[in-house]
Amino acid sequence: MSLPEPLTVMITHAIASHGGPRGAILEALRMVQHAEGWVSDERVADIAALTGMTTAEIDNLATFYSHIFRKPVGRHLVMFCDGASCWMNGGDKVAEAVKARLGIGFGETTADGRFTLLNTCCVGGCDHAPAAVTGRNRRLVGPLRADTLDGLLT
């Protein structure tokens, strides 16, 4: 499927407002991911065509930045803090409970395509440790409890 017209317009606009094609690459990757959930090889080629860069230059960035996804992710993304403040307050136990409940590990997606689990640090929610961010808005949830996982998988 070719790049949808609204994305073409937005990326073209980003090239004008972000100091040219190179400055707009990350923005373009983000826009594609926002619309489609991840960045496929086809979209890398689309962005390359729009910005006048090579696909290698686009992928060079896409593979460096950890929140650009080069394979499909679940509809619900759960980013779990594995930092010290969360760990001290039982973060490991909560992480194990989430993994057991979903039957997947960090970096994996459930077979039904609902959830993807990622470990990250720090989510800036140390006052809610152990904490995670979830969903399109990266909503902060915590303090999490291993026995309920309230608010995390909804």
Q: Interface with other proteins by CB under 8 A: which residues?
A: 17-19, 21-27, 29-30, 60-61, 64-68, 79, 82-85, 87-89, 120-129, 133, 136-141
Q: Which is nearer to other proteins, 1 or 64 (CB)?
A: 64
DSSP code at position 104: -
End-to-end, the C-alpha distance of the chain in Å comes to: 32
* Helix ranges restricted to H, the chain: 5-17, 21-36, 41-51, 55-62, 84-88, 91-102
Q: Which is nearer to other proteins, 67 or 101 (CB)?
A: 67
* Cα 129 from Cα 143, distance rounded (Å): 5
Least distance from other proteins to the Cβ atom of residue 47, Å: 11
Least distance from other proteins to the Cβ atom of residue 96, Å: 15
Q: Which is nearer to other proteins, 109 or 134 (CB)?
A: 134
* Cα 105 from Cα 96, distance rounded (Å): 9
Least distance from other proteins to the Cβ atom of residue 11, Å: 13
Q: Which is nearer to other proteins, 12 or 60 (CB)?
A: 60
What is the maximal distance between C-alpha atoms in the chain? Answer: 52
Least distance from other proteins to the Cβ atom of residue 69, Å: 10
Q: Residue 83: name the closest of 35, 126, 118 by CA.
A: 126
